[in-house]
Amino acid sequence: MADSNPEAQSGPPMPRIMYQIANPIVGAVLHSPLHGMMSGRLILLSFTGRKSGTQYTIPVGYLQEANRLYVFTHSSWWKNLRGGAPVTVQLRGTEVQGAANVVEDEAAIMQIIHKLVARDGDKMAQRMGFFKEQPGGPPALVIPPNATFLSIDLVEPRG
């Protein structure tokens, strides 16, 4: 594990300005024929602002289980995705429609965290704030207080 204090993690793993620089680049790659180098762990999530009506598209990490994706964020954009909000995802080069919901069940969130840690390792989990130091013991997996988890139920394309 890294030497930094995981309890100090209070937001995204990078400064917000880095997202403003990186997101357009990552988005371009995910829309290109080169998407394969990133699309195993990243999707482009498109949704409409609930108040502004503005269309947003952002790259986010995901975990897939059958026709459901799980994503989480340290930012407030998730507020647009309450109650089955329609979304479009660019998933491994294919545009797919879905409905997003906030995951509120703590046991379900912990299952998602365990799967993300198993897939991505301790270093990524630490950057995301999933570890909390325990006196005299190994760090424990926790739900970061400033993170929101979402599920996206994908709609099968009709032929």
pLDDT in tens, 95-138: 999 999 999 999 999 999 999 999 988 888 888 889 888 888 88
In a domain, 1, yes or no: no
Confidence grade of residue 33 (pLDDT, cut at 50, 70, 90): confident
- Indicate the SS3 state at residue 109: helix
For residue 154, count CB atoms less than 10 angstroms from its CB and return exposed for 0-12, middle for 13-18, buried for 19 or more: middle
- Domain coverage including residue 82: 6-154
In a domain, 96, yes or no: yes
Instruction: Report the candidate in 112, 114, 109, 70 with the shortest Cα–Cα distance to residue 89.
Output: 70
Alpha helices by DSSP H, 9-66: 16-31
The structural domain count of the chain equals: 1
Calculate the average pLDDT of the chain: 84
Identity of residue 157: P
Residues 15-23, mean pLDDT to the nearest whole number: 69
In angstroms, the CA 58 to CA 30 distance is: 11
Does a structural domain hold residue 159? Answer: no
Distance from C-alpha of 26 to C-alpha of 90, rounded to nearest angstrom:
12
